[in-house]
Structure 1
Amino acid sequence: MLHAGLDFGTTNSTLGVCGEGGGAPRLLALEGEHRTIPSALFFSLEDGRTYFGRAAVHEYVDGAEGRFMRALKSILGTRLMGETTLVGRERLGFEALIGRFLAHLKGKLEAETGAPAGACVFGRPVRFVDEDDAADAKAEAQLASAARAQGFTHVEFQFEPVAAALYYESRIAEERLALVVDIGGGTSDFTVVRLSPERARHPDRRDDLLASTGVHVGGTDFDRLLNIATLQPLLGLGSATADGKRQMPVWYFNDLATWHRVNFLYTPKVARDAADLKREAAEPEKLGRFAHVIRHRSGHRLAGAVETAKIALTDAAETAIRHREPGLALETAVSREDFERATAELVARIEAAIDAALAAAGVKPDAIETVILTGGGAQVPAVFRAATGRFPAAEIARSDAFGSVGLGLALDARRRFG
């Protein structure tokens, strides 16, 4: 019997399994040999199929006619969960859309085990929604409901940073006081926890969890602010009307830079607005690009170009954001310094959340013996400095950036269901 843990992420997802009676957890291959799958769907209007993960991204980037959706996790707990969106000829709620993706992963699990999937531990951020306990609880309930609707009969949750700590704990030989820093696609979580081989055998770990804090800041937020600072001005953000009396409305560009809001711009009304803005603009060529993006549904392709540049700036001091398609060519240089200036407020919020976790745990920075880094956002140089700079004497454990949560959830599933 295999016990399962599912890490449904804003950007990527994994599915961990763990056998009975010991043994290391492992991640299932979810797309070819890949053990991570982008949390993306593409509803094709050409062949009527639904594509998932890299296949979904490929169909969209290749210009197939259809509807592309990504970062659905970011909608949990928000008012958008009560709305529907047009997919082909039907309108679907976002719980059903999330369910489509979960059903795809469930199918992978059942193919591996040869049996219906029932019990599963799902990862969740410490906070789905900042400073709103009711909305946060509602987000968890919505995810649980989406999972149960697809046949997961026993759904339990574990905090994602705790899951990463459980995986790290399975490989250490002595007790450590650790800070887990989990920078995901949509949220960042921080947990102070005592870990050891002996403690790992205890079924109840509540006394070992000294504090957890979370903030709704993740990799997609870094994408958004870099997009707003660099690419959106080329589409008209900050431009004035020809008479100089007002600026172009900001909200169009904010939504266009936000992964989970892009699709809401693809309406006849916004297309008409874009044409009107071009006629009124002092820089009509820029608003002409904006109109093209709306007309050809290119927003996610632009966001992908920004994300590619963000990743490149992990190792490079400068790069360029480039996007070309028939009728549209965009290119702008960007440096790591530009990126850090644009996203300084996000790093400050991460630093504040780390400070809050230490204060809640009642420990000083020099008491932390290990900093466990997980999540793709932890690779961003400014985030890495914020996460490790307070702890010069601590071991920096670079856990599997995209897999440690899923592996830890599988270990937790074996503890709960075994």
Structure 2
Amino acid sequence: LVEMEAGQFTLPTTFFFDFETRKTLIGEPANAALLDGAEGRFMRALKRVLGTSLMHEKRQILNERVTFVDIISRFLKQIKTRAETQAGRPIDAVLSGRPVVFHGTGDPREDQAEADLRACYLAAGFKHIDFMPEPVAAAISSGALDHPDQIGLIADIGGGTSDFSLFRSRPEGIEILANHGVRIGGTDFDRSISVDLVMPLLGKGTLLRKVIGPGTTPAPAAIFGDLATWEKIPFLYTPQNQRMADEMVRLAEEPGKLARLSTVLRDELGHELAFAVEHGKIAANNHDSSPLIELDQIERNLTVPVAPEALDQILETHSKKLTEGVSETLRLAGVKAVQVDRIVYVGGSSLMSTVAGTLKAVFPEAQHTFSEVFTAVTDGLSIAANR
């Protein structure tokens, strides 16, 4: 694998457009700039934009008007450059992983999403582009060939999608029996936790006095949902939203809570809030003694307890969708759950206990193994590309 940084073989798909230096930072430097309070715009979870009209809309960032094709291609260009530096020669061909589905089975945006991803690779300087479903690559890297005639399931739980592949190991190679995916991933987990636990502290569900006449009305829910959604956060910091938040503070039955929302918008703290939710989720999943979502950046000593059992309840809807995705994969393959010998987990979000708990309920007799969850797909792609 190519070293993205010294001793590091993975690279966060994050961007920071620094308003002071006019530079575009990618990966850990982007995360650090955001958390250090640099002035700029942060972006993450851009895979979700593929196939949508947002991909080709131009927006002003730093000194230029760019599309998401331009932004993603710069990320791919950096990977290409680092690979070429280590290989000592130009590289113009790529075998790219892709989710089984970007948006949903039968969704008309599917073909467009792959076309958009291809356009990003072309813009980055690649000439020959092929795609392989990420779970297929993970099956190759899992050592499935060492277990002939076994039936296995690759559960690839990423940031934005969950992909399932049933496969049978053959002496001559891996036979893929069925692929299926659902648009559920780590960012959805984070969003649900944020909406249920954090947004009520910012005024979600509180009442506003009517401007004219007696009575109250609920605070508009849309802005809280957007603030809990990684890819929408950069577009919330508008004068219109700030005026709306200030007006809600004026009309609020609980003005202190809406004042926090106003602070988040004014000081552009949406991503700091999102990182706090992610860290709290990880702490709860690691069974820390008193896991908390710490919101000191919004208000001193503001915290939210996040117990593992509360997480299971919050994520129950997502758990059901994962179960439905697995069940559909079994149906497509004509395989019963009891016939599956091994479950291989890949993708960072597969480490969530709610994921393993959901799949163990479906496959109680199978062996459950965690591969190199962060690099399994890349390992498999490099083996496949070499062949």
1:77–1:135: 8 Å Cα contact kept in structure 2? yes
3-state SS of the aligned residue for 2:146?
Answer: coil
Q: Which residue of 2 aligns with 1:259?
A: 230
Partner residue of 2:85 out of 84, 92, 111: 111
Question: 2:142 is aligned with what amino acid?
Answer: Y
Q: Which residue of 1 aligns with 2:259?
A: 288
Shift of 1:280: 1.5
Q: Which residue of 2 aligns with 1:407?
A: 379
- CA distance 1:177–1:163, shift in 2 (3 Å): same
Question: How far apart in 2 are the matches of 1:334 and 1:169?
Answer: 37
Question: 2:200 is aligned with what amino acid?
Answer: P
Question: 2:313 is aligned with what amino acid?
Answer: R
- CA distance 1:60–1:29, shift in 2 (3 Å): same
3-state SS of the aligned residue for 2:219?
Answer: coil
Q: Which residue of 2 aligns with 1:313?
A: 284
- CA distance 1:358–1:334, shift in 2 (3 Å): same
Question: How far apart in 1 are the matches of 2:47 and 2:149?
Answer: 35
Partner residue of 1:102 out of 76, 79, 94: 76
Question: How far apart in 2 are the matches of 1:245 and 1:170?
Answer: 61
3-state SS of the aligned residue for 2:286?
Answer: coil
Does residue 375 of the first structure (1) align with residue 347 of the second (2)? yes
Question: How far apart in 2 are the matches of 1:109 and 1:151?
Answer: 13
Q: Which residue of 1 aligns with 2:152?
A: 178
2:273–2:295: 8 Å Cα contact kept in structure 1? yes
Shift of 1:170: 6.3
Q: Which residue of 1 aligns with 2:136?
A: 162
- CA distance 1:175–1:132, shift in 2 (3 Å): closer
Q: Which residue of 1 aligns with 2:40?
A: 66
- CA distance 1:332–1:259, shift in 2 (3 Å): same
Q: Deviations over 1:15-35 (max 9, x none)?
A: xxxxxxxxxxxx221122211
Percent of aligned positions that are identical: 38
Shift of 1:385: 1.4
Q: Which residue of 2 aligns with 1:17?
A: none
Q: Which residue of 1 aligns with 2:325?
A: 353
Q: Which residue of 2 aligns with 1:14?
A: none
Partner residue of 2:246 out of 257, 268, 275: 275
Shift of 1:337: 1.4
In the TM superposition, 1:183-262 aligns within 5 A as 183-196=157-170, 198-200=171-173, 208-243=175-210, 244-262=215-233
Question: How far apart in 1 are the matches of 2:294 and 2:150?
Answer: 45
Shift of 1:397: 2.2
1:218–1:377: 8 Å Cα contact kept in structure 2? yes
Question: How far apart in 1 are the matches of 2:220 and 2:57?
Answer: 24
Question: How far apart in 1 are the matches of 2:299 and 2:162?
Answer: 38
Q: Deviations over 1:316-366 (max 9, x none)?
A: 165110022376653111111111111110010000110110111011111
Shift of 1:90: 2.3
Question: How far apart in 2 are the matches of 1:127 and 1:341?
Answer: 27
3-state SS of the aligned residue for 1:233?
Answer: helix
3-state SS of the aligned residue for 1:104?
Answer: helix
Does residue 298 of the first structure (1) align with residue 269 of the second (2)? yes
3-state SS of the aligned residue for 2:200?
Answer: helix
2:260–2:298: 8 Å Cα contact kept in structure 1? no
Shift of 1:171: 6.3
Q: Which residue of 2 aligns with 1:343?
A: 315
Question: 2:69 is aligned with what amino acid?
Answer: E
3-state SS of the aligned residue for 1:38?
Answer: coil
227-236 or 162-171, larger mean C-alpha shift = 162-171
Does residue 51 of the first structure (1) align with residue 25 of the second (2)? yes
2:264–2:298: 8 Å Cα contact kept in structure 1? no
1:169–1:195: 8 Å Cα contact kept in structure 2? no
Shift of 1:407: 0.6
1:292–1:328: 8 Å Cα contact kept in structure 2? no
Question: How far apart in 2 are the matches of 1:327 and 1:188?
Answer: 35
Does residue 82 of the first structure (1) align with residue 53 of the second (2)? no
Query: Structure 2: which 5+ runs fail to align?
Result: none
Shift of 1:155: 0.8
Number of equivalent positions? 382
Partner residue of 2:7 out of 19, 23, 33: 33
State the TM-score, normalizing by the size of structure 1. Answer: 0.88
Higher relative contact order (CA 8 A, sep 6+): 1
3-state SS of the aligned residue for 1:86?
Answer: strand
- CA distance 1:39–1:393, shift in 2 (3 Å): same
Question: 1:42 is aligned with what amino acid?
Answer: F
Question: How far apart in 2 are the matches of 1:104 and 1:382?
Answer: 35
Shift of 1:112: 1.1
Shift of 1:82: 3.2
Q: Deviations over 1:56-104 (max 9, x none)?
A: 0000100001111111111111232232333123222111111111111
- CA distance 1:177–1:171, shift in 2 (3 Å): closer
Question: 1:220 is aligned with what amino acid?
Answer: T
State the TM-score, normalizing by the size of structure 2. Answer: 0.95
Q: Deviations over 1:228-258 (max 9, x none)?
A: 0111111111111035421111110101000
Q: Which residue of 2 aligns with 1:19?
A: none
Shift of 1:132: 4.0
3-state SS of the aligned residue for 2:193?
Answer: helix
- CA distance 1:307–1:399, shift in 2 (3 Å): same
Q: Which runs of 4+ in 1 moved over 3 A?
A: 326-329
1:164–1:180: 8 Å Cα contact kept in structure 2? yes
